[in-house]
Amino acid sequence: MPLMIAPSILSADFSNLKADIDMINKSEADWFHVDVMDGTFVPNISFGFPVMKALKEHAKKLLDVHLMIVNPDHYIEEFKKAGAGVLTVHYEACTHLHRTVHAIKHHGMKAGVAINPHTPVHLLSDIIRDIDVVLVMSVNPGFGGQKFIQHTFDKVLKLKQLIIENSAKTKIEVDGGADLDNALPLMRAGADILVAGNTIFSSPNRLECIKFLKDPL
């Protein structure tokens, strides 16, 4: 089954964002990946509700919103209003993860949980059935264009096994450093969704790049 592809808006040209949104709309990509950073949970600040409003107005595909922020519970309803279809919070940022996940679902969004490179997969065992998406960070969160961490393959394999053992329907999303070389190994390890930013937006033929990432066989 082909991978789902979620181009990361963080790597788009913000001086001509509408053109990049249109490109994704007409591509074979499945979702828009939107990274929201607060400068506290990660050492960077990205964008917030004004950019989300623009995306909602023009995007014809689901908005996959990745919150790299502290206290995500405070903003769940606002991100729903801003157009999020998937809302992903970090395991490391949530004191009461079960409550946060179900609050996201209560507002009609798919619930995602992200884990940093150092966070072991087994910590999700008690909640894996409640999660729609697990986002495996394959770089340290905060900046685009980083080198892929090779240990990610092992984490995806372990996560896939955890999902199978619990008869869960959770999808595995990989975020950071996805490219034309590791797309196929990630798919074979069990990944369902790839987030790709620099790989797509630096490509001379973005539509073909997305097409290859989606089906690298």
What CA–CA distance (Å, rounded) separates 114 from 121? 10
Strand 193-196 relative to strand 4-7: parallel, antiparallel, unpaired? parallel
Structure tokens belonging to residue 138? 């394959």
Question: What pLDDT score was predicted for residue 141?
Answer: 81
Question: What pLDDT score was predicted for residue 144?
Answer: 67
Question: What pLDDT score was predicted for residue 208?
Answer: 97
What CA–CA distance (Å, rounded) separates 89 from 87? 7
pLDDT tens per residue across span 65-113: 999 999 999 999 999 999 999 999 999 999 999 999 999 999 999 999 9
Catalytic-residue membership of 13: no
Question: What pLDDT score was predicted for residue 145?
Answer: 64
Where exactly are the structural domains of the chain?
4-214
Question: What pLDDT score was predicted for residue 53?
Answer: 87
Question: What pLDDT score was predicted for residue 43?
Answer: 85
Type of residue found at 187: M
What residues of the chain score a pLDDT lower than 50?
A: none
Question: Catalytic: which of 20, 30, 64, 175?
Answer: 175
Catalytic-residue membership of 175: yes
Question: Catalytic: which of 20, 30, 35, 192?
Answer: 35
CATH 3.50.7.10 fits domain 4-214: no
Type of residue found at 15: S
